[in-house]
């Protein structure tokens, strides 16, 4: 029986995530080359990564940037967004922060209770004459309803941007995420599947936008030293790109490894009352995170209590996301009309479990054993 007082099921702490890195062998020659030549930025490996990514996703342009946050900031500025932008509150803080840096007003729309994606049925009622764009998120790697969102954007003359931080390798009807909307923005920080250490990528089929982003990541300077607008330094260094080139080669295997782990989770956890993110069959997700929904009425214990007991067993979980409308930084945009009941419910009941490429089958089963035994002992653990 799992209790808070006995020896924990895991002797050592089981992390929630770990990067899946190429072997050092695979990067060392290129690193050694830039070390001896001194070409540690603005050289060929950033270009090589960009070209590899645009081929992989079948998109005309991929522009490497310093982070997903800076990529979003540049895209929003260079699409000339004004006024209000519609986005889910159920996302990582950086999605909203990018808008705030551009003095845009975030307008939160609730999510679908099964997919945790922005509820497309609720977007139109949030549109006002000031709305300039929709910023959707491919949550945990599950693609948003790209076609429907594009229809809404077209019908209302809005730009459509995707925060694709989780979705490197995701697909809709066999088409890779990266080619939808006006632009998509990826993160390659270490918790994401394709990693460059820190960094991001903007992808777009709009050549003019791509050109402007390249200028924008370089202070707004097109090389003439006559800055065309106020940009920033959002460049990626060569070291990061070298890691990215090799990380990209692992991506398909990486996704398959995560799919296998999730299959074990779902099979092992079938007998206890939990819900999972619903994934329709024409969508491929990366399982950037694997979340369970714990309804206190059905499970007998609340999410916080379960997380606490799992921590006592040395299992790290994450109550991801902490919705934006509950964060201090967004308090100016919240009033009595802000009603996001599904976001509130999901964010109170969600728990992300350990998931990374090299997580062993045995450890997944042990995590499931802990969850099942918490459920079996729910009355004593209250
Ligand atoms: C990680 C993440 C970001 C931020 O990415 P950075 O590269 O760290 O700027 C943005 N949005 C979502 C949904 C994320 O998970």
Please identify, by atom number, the ligand 1 atom nearest to the C-alpha of residue 71.
9
What is the radius of gyration, based on Cα positions, of the chain?
22
In this prediction, residue 382 carries a pLDDT of 85
Does any ligand 1 atom lie closer than 6 A to the CB of residue 236? no
Please report where in the chains the tokens 């007003």 appear, as a residue: 105
pLDDT at 292 > cutoff 80: yes
Does any ligand 1 atom lie closer than 6 A to the CB of residue 68? yes
Q: At what angle do helices 303-312 and 361-376 cross, to 10 degrees?
A: 130
In this prediction, residue 288 carries a pLDDT of 98
- Compute, in angstroms, the gap from residue 373 CA to the centroid of ligand 1: 34
Of the candidates 345, 354, 341, 263, the one whose C-alpha atom is nearest the C-alpha of residue 307 is 354
Joined tokens for residue 140: 């945990």
Does any ligand 1 atom lie closer than 6 A to the CB of residue 200? yes
Please state, as a whole number, how many other Cβ atoms lie within 10 Å of the Cβ of residue 341: 9
Helix (H) or strand (E) holding 368: helix 361-376
What tens digit of pLDDT does each residue of 162-199 get? 999 999 999 999 999 999 999 999 999 999 999 999 99
| Mean pLDDT across 101-120 | 98
| CB burial readout 281-319, b (16+ within 10 A) else e | eebbbbbbbbbbbbeeeebbbbbebbbebbebbebbbbe
pLDDT at 336 > cutoff 90: no
- Compute, in angstroms, the gap from residue 365 CA to the centroid of ligand 1: 30
Terminal-residue alpha carbon distance, the chain: 15
Query: What three-state secondary structure class fits 31?
Result: helix
| Mean pLDDT across 71-76 | 98
| Mean pLDDT across 63-92 | 98
pLDDT at 1 > cutoff 80: no
Q: Give the mutation target among 19, 75, 90, 92 for probing the ligand 1 site: most ligand atoms within 8 A of CB.
A: 92
In this prediction, residue 335 carries a pLDDT of 87
Task: Tally the residues of the chain.
Answer: 382
DSSP state string for 159-181: EEEEE-TT-TT-EETTEETTSSS
DSSP state of 318: B
- Compute, in angstroms, the gap from residue 107 CA to the centroid of ligand 1: 19
pLDDT at 120 > cutoff 90: yes
| Mean pLDDT across 279-290 | 96
- Compute, in angstroms, the gap from residue 101 CA to the centroid of ligand 1: 15
What are 111's strand-pairing partners?
118
- Compute, in angstroms, the gap from residue 94 CA to the centroid of ligand 1: 6
Query: What three-state secondary structure class fits 123?
Result: coil
Contact predicate 135/157, CB 8 Å? no
Does any ligand 1 atom lie closer than 6 A to the CB of residue 189? yes
Of the candidates 318, 317, 316, 262, the one whose C-alpha atom is nearest the C-alpha of residue 285 is 262
As a whole number of angstroms, the distance between CA 60 and CA 49 comes to 14
What tens digit of pLDDT does each residue of 11-61 get? 999 999 999 999 999 999 999 999 999 999 999 999 999 999 999 999 999
Q: Give the mutation target among 141, 161, 187 for probing the ligand 1 site: most ligand atoms within 8 A of CB.
A: 187
Average per-residue pLDDT for the chain: 97
Query: Can you list the alpha helix ranges (DSSP code H) found in 66-168?
Result: 68-78, 93-101, 146-155
In this prediction, residue 111 carries a pLDDT of 98
């Amino acid at each position: 029986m799992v209790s808070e007082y006995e020896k924990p099921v895991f002797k050592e702490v089981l992390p929630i995530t770990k990067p899946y890195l190429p072997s050092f062998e695979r990067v060392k020659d290129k690193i050694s080359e830039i070390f001896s030549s001194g070409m540690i930025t603005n050289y060929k490996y950033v270009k090589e990564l960009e070209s590899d990514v645009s081929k992989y996703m079948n998109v005309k342009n991929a522009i490497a940037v310093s982070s997903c946050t800076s990529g979003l900031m540049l895209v929003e500025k260079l699409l000339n967004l004004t006024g209000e932008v519609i986005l889910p509150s159920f996302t990582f803080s950086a999605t909203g922060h990018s808008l705030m840096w551009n003095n845009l007003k975030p307008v939160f729309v609730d999510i679908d209770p099964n997919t945790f994606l922005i509820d497309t049925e609720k977007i139109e009622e949030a549109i006002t004459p000031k709305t300039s764009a929709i910023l959707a998120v491919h949550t945990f790697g599950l693609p948003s309803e790209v076609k429907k969102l594009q229809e809404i954007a077209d019908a209302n003359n809005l730009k459509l941007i995707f925060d694709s931080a989780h979705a490197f390798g995701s697909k809709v009807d066999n088409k890779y995420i990266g080619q939808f909307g006006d632009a998509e923005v990826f993160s390659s920080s270490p918790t994401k599947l394709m990693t460059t250490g820190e960094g991001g990528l903007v992808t777009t089929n709009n050549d003019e936008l791509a050109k402007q982003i390249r200028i924008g990541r370089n202070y707004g300077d097109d090389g003439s030293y006559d800055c065309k607008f106020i940009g920033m330094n959002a460049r990626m260094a060569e070291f990061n790109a070298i890691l990215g080139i090799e990380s990209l080669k692992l991506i398909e295997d990486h996704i398959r490894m995560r799919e296998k782990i999730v299959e074990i989770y779902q099979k092992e956890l079938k007998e206890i009352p939990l819900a999972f993110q619903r994934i329709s069959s024409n969508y491929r997700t990366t399982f950037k995170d694997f979340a369970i929904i714990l309804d206190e009425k059905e499970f007998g214990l609340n999410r916080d209590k379960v997380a606490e007991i799992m921590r006592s067993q040395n299992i790290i979980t994450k109550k991801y996301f902490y919705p934006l409308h509950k964060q201090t930084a967004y308090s100016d945009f919240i009033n009595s009309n802000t009603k996001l009941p599904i976001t509130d419910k999901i964010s109170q009941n969600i728990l992300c479990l350990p998931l990374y490429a090299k997580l062993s089958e045995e450890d997944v089963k042990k995590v499931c054993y802990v969850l099942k035994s918490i459920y079996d002992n729910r009355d004593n653990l209250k």
